[in-house]
Amino acid sequence: MAGNPGRQGPAVKILHLINTLAAGGAEIHLLALCREMKRRGIEVIVAGMREKGLASRLLRPDFEALGIRVFSLGSNSRYDARFLPDLVDLVRAERPDILHSHLPRADLAAAWVRFRVRDVTWVSSVHDIHGSFWSSRWSLPLLKAAWRWPDRLIAISHAVRDWLIGEMRVPGDRVQAIHYGLEVSQVDRGIEDMRVKWKLVGRPIIGALARVEPRKGHDRLIRAMPAIVRRVPGSVLVIAGPDWEGHSAQLQALIDALGMRENVRLLGFQSDVASLLHSIDVFAFATHAEGFGLVLLEAMAASRPVVATRIAPLTEIVEDGVTGFLIDPNREEGFGERIADLLRSPERAREMGRRGRARVEETFTVHRMVDRTLAAYEEALRRSATRMRLRATG
């Protein structure tokens, strides 16, 4: 990939801009992306806007352990724009070949950079379909305008791409879908048997891993537990994830109302995702809406069968009846039925888990993700060069 001819140093330099470096789907994706780019000799630097007041583990040490420089812009409120001059100065000082933004607030900041630094080549990754569950949907008109400016838009799923084109009116030739990729080896390292820690040895365990918020559908799984326990006595649902909005209190009230205190546990944020996934029997994901579903890849890489909502883009990940089951969102009882079926058929569950891991290894690799991302960078650089020539000729 051709670099910036006016800059001394490595041939290619990427500046990634993201809202925070708190562990989450987009942030873990960025870490995998940067790790593989670094292996390929590409210089990457990362700028995060917020570091304080976050419920998840910060990934900054993970990036720095790879030799990646990380800048904190010190903007700890979504309404704080005082960091924008510092961001412009950073871009001018580093002169990256690509400014790659991730998540809406970073996209709006990158649009401001484009306004001030016209020759920057800008790529935006859109990590979600921002609908009724999004707390900042008021900003969609701003994003709709901003997303017409990047030299290339990367949608993390075909569902996100369809939404950008259909509802956000982004020209189809400007956006492409690139799925998340996963290094399976990352899910196999340092495994601890969490069943011992949880004092659940010998009991069937269903695992759910996602932020504790209404959109993730944890209440669906809790309501399914009485039926599951009747069919598979002793079953336990463990729900792990940070709670940024205080939703855990509502879930605990539901657990108590159903008499499921012995069968449902709210674990809070868990840093050791790999051990958690290897310690469960079935992974459940009852989300109402999603941009991709990286956690499904992680569960499949851990050879666990998955039961998830039949919605796009989860239909791009799970092969129904092969690597797990997809449940009609209008038929919630399906979660209880399919989870109980898998718990009662351990050999079938293991076979689905094996097939799930094979699917990740064949289809959702970091190598494929980075190959396609670098191709998107090439296209962005071509578009940027054309844009600057047209601007120069008036």
Q: Determine how many CB atoms are found less than 10 A away from the CB of residue 3.
A: 18
d(CA 172, CA 153): 10
- What are the structural domains of the chain? 13-181+365-392 (3.40.50.2000), 185-363 (3.40.50.2000)
**Beta bridge pairs of residue 72:** 48
The whole-number pLDDT of residue 10 equals 40
Three-state SS across 234-290? CCEEEEECCCCCCCHHHHHHHHHHCCCCCCEEEEECCCCHHHHHHCCCEEEECCCCC
pLDDT in tens, 232-268: 999 999 999 999 889 999 999 999 999 999 999 999 9
What distance in Å separates the CA atoms of residue 290 and residue 330, rounded to the nearest whole number? 16
Q: What is the pLDDT at residue 325?
A: 98
CB 335 within 8 A of CB 327: yes
Q: What pLDDT, on a 0 to 100 scale, did the predictor assign at position 185?
A: 85
Q: What is the dihedral of CA 369, 371, 373, 375, to 10 degrees?
A: -150
Q: What's the token pair of residue 388? A: 């600057």
Q: What is the pLDDT of residue 134?
A: 67
H or E element: which one contains 219?
Answer: helix 218-231
Say what the pLDDT of residue 1 is.
Answer: 64
Q: Are 78 and 46 in contact (CB under 8 A)?
A: no
* Contact by Cβ (8 Å): 292, 318: no
Q: Which of 140, 382, 188 is nearest to 304 (CA)?
A: 188
Neighbouring residues of 22: CB distance < 8 A, sequence distance ≥ 6: 54, 55, 56, 57, 58, 59
Distance separating alpha carbons of residues 71 and 73, to the nearest angstrom? 6
Residues lower than pLDDT 70 in the chain: 1-11, 53, 55, 132-135, 394
Is the pTM above the cut of 0.85?
yes
CB 20 within 8 A of CB 47: no
What local confidence, expressed as pLDDT, does residue 394 receive? Answer: 63
Token pair for 111: 């649009």
Render pLDDT for 116-146 as a digit per residue (tens, 0 to 9).
999 999 999 999 998 766 667 778 999 999 9
